[in-house]
Structure 1
């Protein structure tokens, strides 16, 4: 069969988009590779009515609600190829099955490239974070470390004193000019120039000179890129942002390829569950609009 829309990515933004389409009685296939970005986190915060919920539970309940709509199909797997044009797309999955649709929606999420510090990756989503609105409150105004990755990290260090006492680790990633150093000092931020050797314990920073500094939590700004190559395969333009690479879209969430849309972390920044859901809902409505107004 030919679906109205194939959604590649079954996390928050993809499901939010699908919900709008299903409620318009459109046929939707969701293809999900099962790699939610926040799968390591035990709690999701800042999402209205779901504050403190397990992110896996939010995804599970959302899928169950979508499955109540008769026009939904769901395939667990990865899209490895996408070809065609508006009203005539073909998607091939990793099991070699072929699926057809009038429109495509890329909601693949992103992968995070963290600083190459032993122990950091193991604590990602547990005691190492990127979003203070999502995880700052639970640190109870304790000691917070910010690990620099580039100029955007200055903004992170400027914000985080709202949530605790901040130490900013330059770690060889940047040099502060006089204005930035003065601003951070005025916010009570301690700047540490010694390189980091490793992260141990809950969130203990071990420095190259042997000092070990304990923290309630650590923050860093990873470089992001779409977690799947499917956008490049289908020919969508990618754009560079201060956060990394994302799929370029216009206001309607359509990409540079007519009939292919993108939403969520892979197509917007900054990132959070709330913002991904909102972006997905908008993309779903715009996709429906394109189906009933073909000139768009």
Structure 2
């Protein structure tokens, strides 16, 4: 799903479901003719949360366009875990299956490209793509995720999502008992290191420079057999994303199998902000219990709104958004 120089719409009139049953969606355009390039909802971001929102909206007979540039934040991750019925499945396979199922709904269309601009218009919103295509909709959903900001450590980005991890619930079982590191410092590092002792007893906290932990905190970690290393890291040695050892600026090395890191991020898409949507204190799009942003008519769901960064949560939030938004549209039309 890469940006393209021509318009790419996908819409299926019938297909075979995963269970082998032939599915014949009604051609709702017979009853609800579409104005050219105008939709009830434009969803920017066609990964797990966006697809889930589109399915709920499609099943509510709403005209939907999904714009997706094909760059999910977990694109390097080999396997997804802790998602019932999909445990151990590669993330791209989950997304492909989701897309094929959503495409069965005739009122849902796809555009493979990058949304670059958005503006408020009289009857809703207008979205412009990188190749200057323009689409309008009554409502917008942003399921665009976040963009991780990698530290300037050689090899780090190559390992991100493979052996450098963010979540023990997503990947901790697979590296249980392994020689594990944490790249972090401060109060968050202190609490996270204690938490990770559930998965391994061979744990080292790498602060990548002089630590800000108090002597009391260092002693408490030591009592839990958590080692502390303050040397600056120069390089992560790896084989196809799997760590073998760390190299330090002083020339020394340390063997390692896995490492956890909490790194900074920014919003993957700045269109919601340009339209006036507010961020919370952590940098996520602020939404209420209905998944509404601070701008009327704009919803958001998935990793761009929450620290709970899992495929299962993204799917849940998308389904909630699609149902709540479809109800809003229905009640506005009656």
TM-score (norm 1): 0.93
Query: How many residue pairs are counted as aligned between the two chains?
Result: 292
Moved more, 18-27 or 284-293: 284-293
**What is the match of residue 25 of structure 2?**
none
1:198 aligns with 2:239: no
CA drift of 1:174 comes to 4.5
**What is the match of residue 56 of structure 1?**
92
SS in 2 for 1:290: helix
**What is the match of residue 286 of structure 1?**
324
CA drift of 1:177 comes to 1.8
Asked if the contact 1:85–1:258 (Cα under 8 Å) also holds between the matched residues in 2, the reply is: no
Q: 1:180 to 1:120 in 2, by over 3 A?
A: same
Matches within 5 A, 1:54-133: 54-84=90-120, 87-133=123-169
1:188 aligns with 2:229: no
**What is the match of residue 168 of structure 1?**
205
**What is the match of residue 81 of structure 2?**
45
CA drift of 1:150 comes to 5.4
Asked if the contact 2:186–2:213 (Cα under 8 Å) also holds between the matched residues in 1, the reply is: no
Which of 240, 248, 265 aligns to 1:207? It is: 248
List, as ranges, runs of 4+ consecutive aligned residues in structure 1 with deviation greater than 6 Å.
Answer: none
1:216 aligns with 2:257: yes
1:152-204 deviations in Å (ceiling 9; x for gaps): 33333222222222100011375112443244234321111122121113421
SS in 1 for 2:117: strand
Q: 1:60 to 1:172 in 2, by over 3 A?
A: same
Asked if the contact 1:44–1:54 (Cα under 8 Å) also holds between the matched residues in 2, the reply is: yes
Asked if the contact 1:115–1:149 (Cα under 8 Å) also holds between the matched residues in 2, the reply is: no
CA drift of 1:18 comes to 1.0
Distance in 2 separating the partners of 1:240 and 1:98: 33
SS in 2 for 1:278: helix
Moved more, 113-122 or 51-60: 113-122
Distance in 2 separating the partners of 1:237 and 1:63: 30
CA RMSD in angstroms comes to 1.8
1:206-242 deviations in Å (ceiling 9; x for gaps): 123322111121110011221111122222112221x
Asked if the contact 1:84–1:90 (Cα under 8 Å) also holds between the matched residues in 2, the reply is: yes
1:262-295 deviations in Å (ceiling 9; x for gaps): 1100011131111111111111112112112339
Moved more, 83-92 or 13-22: 83-92
1:145 aligns with 2:181: yes
Where do 5+ consecutive residues of structure 2 fail to align? 1-34
Q: 1:232 to 1:159 in 2, by over 3 A?
A: same
Q: Which structure's CA Rg is the greater one?
A: 2
Where do 5+ consecutive residues of structure 1 fail to align? none
Distance in 1 separating the partners of 2:186 and 2:131: 40
SS in 2 for 1:205: strand
